[in-house]
């Protein structure tokens, strides 16, 4: 893993830790609870502008939080994906950043916790081509929506491990070609619940 990508992943882990500690501390741990999970998986992007870097590795942080009596919680997710390829002597790199804000429902089924959510998405798509030492880079922003769900198993009162799938959309254009900075996301989730199971 490249140093820059490792820094991004460590930054995500720090964000998850900071949010999970700050929310119950500032609001009162007795009234608030939530789940902070890391996502590791793949993102499939649509649109001709992404070819051939349209199957990207993805890392993310998903935080679900709210008051204990709320039936649906607030979802604040940050996802980043990237892929590099070399074709016909050209180096290609595609990447996306996605901030998803919305609501998520997590059901309590003893140790099994299915979940589903959705909301708005703020997306950035970046495409860089390097040929004969000359780089050409396009960066586009968009807004859209997301929805997805999955399930995780809670080991003891705190540890979560599971899988999820989500879709997101936000239309952008690379060199006049309509593409999407969102896509199909599939991955595993690993994290923890605070302040503990009831």
pLDDT at res. 3: 46
- Strands 73-87 and 159-169 come out as unpaired
User: Residue 29 — very low, low, confident or very high, per pLDDT cuts 50/70/90?
Assistant: low
| Mean pLDDT for the chain overall | 86
- Cis omega before residue 191 (within 30°)? no
User: Residue 132 — very low, low, confident or very high, per pLDDT cuts 50/70/90?
Assistant: confident
The mean pLDDT value for 99-108 works out to 95
Residue 69 has pLDDT above 50, yes or no: yes
Dist CA 59 CA 74 (whole Å): 20
Residue 8 has pLDDT above 90, yes or no: no
CATH number at residue 59: 2.40.160.20
For 142, the domain range is 3-194
The alpha carbon torsion through 4, 47, 164, 21 (nearest 10 deg) reads 40
Question: Of 28-32, 86-90, 95-99, 170-174, where does mean pLDDT reach its minimum?
Answer: 28-32
**Exposed/middle/buried for 182, CB within 10 Å: 0-12, 13-18, 19+?**
buried
pLDDT at res. 156: 87
| 182 or 110, greater pLDDT | 182
CB atoms within 10 A of CB 190: 14
Specify the number of domains making up the chain: 1
pLDDT at res. 7: 47
């Amino acid at each position: 893993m490249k140093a820059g990508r490792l820094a991004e992943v460590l930054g995500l882990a720090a964000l998850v830790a900071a949010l999970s500690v700050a929310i119950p501390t500032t609001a009162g741990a007795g009234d608030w609870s939530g789940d902070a999970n890391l996502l590791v998986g793949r993102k499939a992007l649509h649109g001709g502008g992404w070819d051939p870097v349209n199957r990207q590795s993805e890392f993310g942080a998903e935080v679900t939080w709210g008051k204990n009596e709320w039936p649906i919680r607030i979802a604040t997710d940050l996802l980043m994906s990237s892929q590099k390829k070399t074709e016909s002597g050209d180096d290609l790199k595609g990447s996306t950043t996605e901030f998803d804000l919305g609501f998520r429902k997590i059901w309590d089924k003893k140790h099994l916790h299915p979940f589903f959510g959705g909301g708005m998405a703020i997306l950035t798509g970046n495409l860089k081509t390097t040929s004969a030492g000359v780089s050409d880079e396009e960066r586009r922003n968009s807004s859209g929506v997301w929805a997805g769900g999955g399930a995780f198993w809670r080991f003891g009162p705190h540890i979560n491990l599971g899988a999820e799938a989500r879709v997101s959309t936000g239309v952008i254009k690379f060199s006049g070609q309509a593409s999407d900075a969102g896509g199909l996301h599939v991955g595993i989730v690993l994290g923890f619940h605070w302040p503990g199971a009831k």
